[in-house]
Amino acid sequence: MLQETIQLGSILIKVSWLVILFSLLCAYAVIVIYLRKDERLLDQLSSILGHAFFLYVLIFKFSFLLFRPSILLHNWKGLLFFTGGTKGAMLGLAISLLYIIVQLYKRRLFVRKVLLALFYGGMTALTAESTWIVVLQ
């Protein structure tokens, strides 16, 4: 059985976060390989996905202000430590997916090649994450 966290000095990192990060990197690698011949599409899609990931992290981190604002009144230093939990993760995921869809529509990137790249990347992420979960259990 593997530990739930890895300690690097005074920093604790959840293993599940590392698994998710690894699966996202695998998905991005598949998207880059699939779109390697069309640099314009790859650049635009990379920009959209990068902004969506940053948006997800911000919403996940600060969504507790929406769900439990009273915590901030009692402990303002909690801003560094608290996250939005499952509700924040779902809200961040929904808003990030909405952002991706709006940007694809706005930039007129609803072409078969981009949608297939996103599908292949998503399936790779799911496969990589599932594999690591089975290996770590």
pLDDT reported for residue 36? 92
CB atoms < 10 A from the CB of 30, how many?
21
If we measure between CA atoms, which residue out of 12, 30, 7 comes closest to residue 128?
Answer: 30
**Lookup: tokens for 128:** 């990589």
If we measure between CA atoms, which residue out of 16, 31, 52, 26 comes closest to residue 127?
Answer: 26
Q: What is the pTM of this model?
A: 0.83
pLDDT reported for residue 85? 82
Q: What angle do CA 129, 135, 137 make, to 5 degrees?
A: 100
Q: What is the pLDDT tens value at each position of the chain, 137 positions in all? A: 456 888 888 888 888 888 888 999 999 999 999 999 989 999 999 999 999 999 999 998 888 888 877 777 777 776 677 777 888 889 999 999 999 999 999 998 888 888 899 999 999 998 988 888 787 77
pLDDT reported for residue 70? 77
pLDDT reported for residue 1? 44
Please report, to the nearest 10 degrees, the dihedral formed by the alpha carbons of residues 112, 116, 117, 121 taken in order.
160
